[in-house]
Structure 1
Amino acid sequence: MAANASSRGVFIRETIEVARRCGFDGVDLDWEYPGSPKEMSDLGFLLEEWRHAIQMEANITKRPPLLLSAAVYYSVNFSALGGGPRSYPVASIKNNLDWINVMCYEFHGSWDTSETGAHAALFDPNTNLSSVYGLKSWLKAGVPQNKVILGLPLYGKTWQLKDSKVHGVGAAAVDVGIGGGVLYYSLVVEFNRRANATIEYDLDTASVYSYSGINWVGYDDPLTTTVKIGFAQALGLRGYCFWALSYDYEWTISSQASTSWIVTNETGASLF
């Protein structure tokens, strides 16, 4: 679609029409992911033309312009996922998007069954696979703080431990775990209760994991989410988002996140 002006134009017109017809506030693009430097360039053209069309439509209809956002990789630069080294079109993003939803998760998963991992680590002392690294890369590239949203997962990643007595983050594993490697937070809570799982916090990654026998799941809970919210505010970010709200357990994490953000704003205090 993004490869030529004609198909981009059709896509843009139809998304604006649907958004207005359905009463949406705007449109969010979820392209996972542009697979080459050319596709990154095409993305830049798409955003520029989209913004122009949105503004033109608003001028004609005398309505507020639709919001335009995009879900993006945790880092501005790609060093994996195939397709060769490539970077997002930051200038186009800055000029044409209202904000970006930075997906600070999926750092580890079923593609590597040899060891457990904190798939949404805030920190990582050994690699660049962390929310801190990714968010700072976007800011360093020039995206304004008020256009950056911290993306948080409401699901965990599971593995089967090689040895039930060795269970930390990075412990040897032999396969994906329960749920085929992915467990919604509501199901994590159920697993912890039914299996009488042991819950541990990993300070190096600011994450939590639980285990019972050889079954291991890494995830975020209300405490680690609060820490991440504090970090987002310390960086001056616009806000946070979840994938996906329906995965929560009785709104436990989403409610805690909302309370943390509001309290910090009202008191002016930082969690760091």
Structure 2
Amino acid sequence: MAANASSRGVFIRETIEVARRCGFDGVDLDWEYPGSPKEMSDLGFLLEEWRHAIQMEANITKRPPLLLSAAVYYSVNFSALGGGPRSYPVASIKNNLDWINVMCYEFHGSWDTSETGAHAALFDPNTNLSSVYGLKSWLKAGVPQNKVILGLPLYGKTWQLKDSKVHGVGAAAVDVGIGGGVLYYSQVVEFNRRANATIEYDLDTASVYSYSGINWVGYDDPLTTTVKIGFAQALGLRGYCFWALSYDYEWTISSQASTSWIVTNETGASLF
């Protein structure tokens, strides 16, 4: 779609029409992911034309312009994924989007069953696969702080341990774990209860994991989410978002996150 001006036009018109008909405040683009430098360039054109069309529609209808945002890779640059080195069109993003939802998760998963991993690590002492690295790459590239949203997961990643006695982040594994490698947060809570799992906090990555026998799951809980929100506020970011709210049946993490953000904003305090 994005490679052709005509198809971009159709897509843009239809998204605006649907958003207005349904009473939405705006539109969020989730393209995972532009697979080449050419597709990154096409993304830039799409955003420019989209913003122009949104403003034109608002001028004609005398209504507030629709918001326009996009979900993006955790880092402004791609190196680990296929398609060759490429970077997001930062200038177009700065000029045309109201904000970006930076997906600070999926750093580890079923594509590597050799070891456990903190799939949404805030820090990583050994690699660039961390929220800190990714967020700072966007800011360093020139995206304003008030246009950056920290994306947080409400699910965990599971592995089967090679040795139940060796269970830290990065421990040897032999396969994906229960749930086919993924558990919603509420399922993690249930696993911990039913299996009487041991829960550990990993300070190096600011994440939590639990294990029972050879079953291992890495995830975020209310505490690690609060730490991440504190970091986002220390960076001056616009806010945070979750994928996905429905994975937390009791609203445990989302409620804690909302309280943490409000308290910190009201007091001016920071966790860092």
Q: What CA distance in whole angstroms lies between the structure 2 residues aligned with 1:131 and 1:67?
A: 25
Q: Deviations over 1:106-142 (max 9, x none)?
A: 0000000000000000000000000000000000000
**CA displacement at 1:218 relative to structure 2:** 0.1
- Structure 1 unaligned spans of 5+: none
Residues 75 and 137, structure 1, Cα contact 8 Å, conserved in 2: yes
**CA displacement at 1:81 relative to structure 2:** 1.5
Q: Deviations over 1:27-79 (max 9, x none)?
A: 00000000000000000000000000000000000000000000000000000
Residues 153 and 244, structure 1, Cα contact 8 Å, conserved in 2: yes
Counting only pairs closer than 5 Å after superposition, residues 69-148 of structure 1 correspond to structure 2 as 69-148=69-148
Match of 2:188 in 1: 188
**CA displacement at 1:249 relative to structure 2:** 3.6
Residues 189 and 249, structure 1, Cα contact 8 Å, conserved in 2: no
**CA displacement at 1:80 relative to structure 2:** 1.9
The DSSP-based 3-state class of the residue aligned with 1:113 is: coil
Q: Deviations over 1:151-207 (max 9, x none)?
A: 000000000000000000000000000000000000000000000000000000000
Q: What CA distance in whole angstroms lies between the structure 2 residues aligned with 1:81 and 1:46?
A: 22
TM-score (norm 1): 1.00
The DSSP-based 3-state class of the residue aligned with 2:58 is: helix
Q: Deviations over 1:214-245 (max 9, x none)?
A: 00000000000000000000000000000000
Task: Percent identity, please.
Answer: 100
Q: What CA distance in whole angstroms lies between the structure 2 residues aligned with 1:216 and 1:270?
A: 32
TM-score (norm 2): 1.00
Q: What CA distance in whole angstroms lies between the structure 1 residues aligned with 2:148 and 2:267?
A: 22
Q: What CA distance in whole angstroms lies between the structure 1 residues aligned with 2:237 and 2:148?
A: 6
Residues 12 and 53, structure 1, Cα contact 8 Å, conserved in 2: yes
The DSSP-based 3-state class of the residue aligned with 1:122 is: coil
The DSSP-based 3-state class of the residue aligned with 1:44 is: helix
Instruction: Say if 2:151 is the partner of 1:151.
Output: yes
Q: Deviations over 1:76-95 (max 9, x none)?
A: 00002110000000000000
The DSSP-based 3-state class of the residue aligned with 1:24 is: coil
Match of 1:25 in 2: 25
Q: What CA distance in whole angstroms lies between the structure 1 residues aligned with 2:82 and 2:207?
A: 28
Match of 1:224 in 2: 224
The DSSP-based 3-state class of the residue aligned with 2:24 is: coil
- Structure 2 unaligned spans of 5+: none
Q: What CA distance in whole angstroms lies between the structure 1 residues aligned with 2:271 and 2:81?
A: 34
Q: What CA distance in whole angstroms lies between the structure 2 residues aligned with 1:66 and 1:111?
A: 38
Counting only pairs closer than 5 Å after superposition, residues 37-56 of structure 1 correspond to structure 2 as 37-56=37-56
Q: What CA distance in whole angstroms lies between the structure 2 residues aligned with 1:241 and 1:51?
A: 22
After TM superposition, which residue ranges in structure 1, 4 or more long, deviate above 3 angstroms?
none
Residues 107 and 118, structure 1, Cα contact 8 Å, conserved in 2: yes
Counting matched residue pairs gives 272
